[in-house]
Amino acid sequence: MVTSKFRRRVAVLVSGRGSNMAALIAAARNADYPAEIALVLSNRSDAAGLNTAASAGIATRVVDQSGFGKDREAFERAVDNELQAHRIELVCLAGFMRVLAPGFVQRWEGRLINIHPSLLPAFKGLDTHARALDAGVKIHGASVHFVTAELDSGAIIAQAAVPVLAADTEETLAARVLSAEHRIYPLALRLVAENRAQLVEGRCITDGAVAADAVLTVPSEIG
């Protein structure tokens, strides 16, 4: 792996499987990618993503939320300490199942991004695929957004759309969306790391050079 002083130091926060984390690690293996995954941190010691990261030679840390009881701020201070200790510049949430307190979110404003399995602002929160099927939408997808204090409401950086097929179950739809997630998260992190996507007064301003079709994956392009 080639490292350069221009690569931004990124932490990925996970609570489970970590397939999006793995997609970011894979992207960062390319020498021209503007970020390196310097830390994978989990609030759960049993998160499978930790093993994947460790096997890839990436530093891992657990900040076990159960050790902090209801003291959310103490938990987040401990997370912050790890981020500082690893000189982290950007944070990617990837299936991190904790709502972060406003203080943490403010400290990392513009440098904290999340992936959500729906075309926001539709289907914020949990069970997005079941709700998309219930609603009968024909297009579903995923969004990468800057994190703000309000859940799943920050400015959108990139989105990918996938078709909802007549025979879809929650599982088949989730799998189709997930493969789209793995494509747009590395793209969105690249844009943020290169300062081509920035949070300005609550909106995501993208560099004029980013073509619309670079941030929207149309259904026909999803395998």
Among 100, 113, 115, 160, binds ligand GRF (CB under 6 A): 115
Contact present, 95 and 18 (Cβ < 8 Å): yes
Query: How far is 65 from 219, CA to CA, in rounded Å?
Result: 39
Which residue matches tokens 């920035």?
Answer: 198
Residue closest to ligand GRF when measured from CB atoms: 95
Site string for ligand GRF, 119-138 (x = CB under 6 A): --------------------
Contacts with ligand GRF by CB under 6 A: the residue count is 14
Cβ contacts of 195 within 8 Å, gap of 6 or more: 207
CA distances from 159 to 18, 115, 123, 208 (A): 19, 9, 14, 17
Tokens, residue 177: 């969306």
The active-site residue, picked from 116, 129, 145, 182, is: 116
CB of 5 to ligand GRF, least distance (A): 29
CB of 186 to ligand GRF, least distance (A): 12
Query: How far is 99 from 215, CA to CA, in rounded Å?
Result: 26
- 19 lines the binding site for ligand GRF (CB under 6 A): yes
CB nearer to ligand GRF: pick between 47 and 78: 47
CB nearer to ligand GRF: pick between 19 and 43: 19
Which residue matches tokens 């793209």?
Answer: 187
Reference 191, options 199, 201, 202, 182; nearest CA is 199
- 141 lines the binding site for ligand GRF (CB under 6 A): no
Within 13 Å and on the Cβ side, how many CA atoms surround 133?
14
Query: Is 129 part of the annotated catalytic residue set?
Result: no
Among 12, 91, 181, 193, binds ligand GRF (CB under 6 A): 181
- 143 lines the binding site for ligand GRF (CB under 6 A): no
Amino acid at 135: A
CB nearer to ligand GRF: pick between 45 and 195: 45
Residues with a known catalytic role? 116
Interaction site with ligand GRF (CB under 6 A): 14, 16-21, 94-95, 115-117, 178, 181
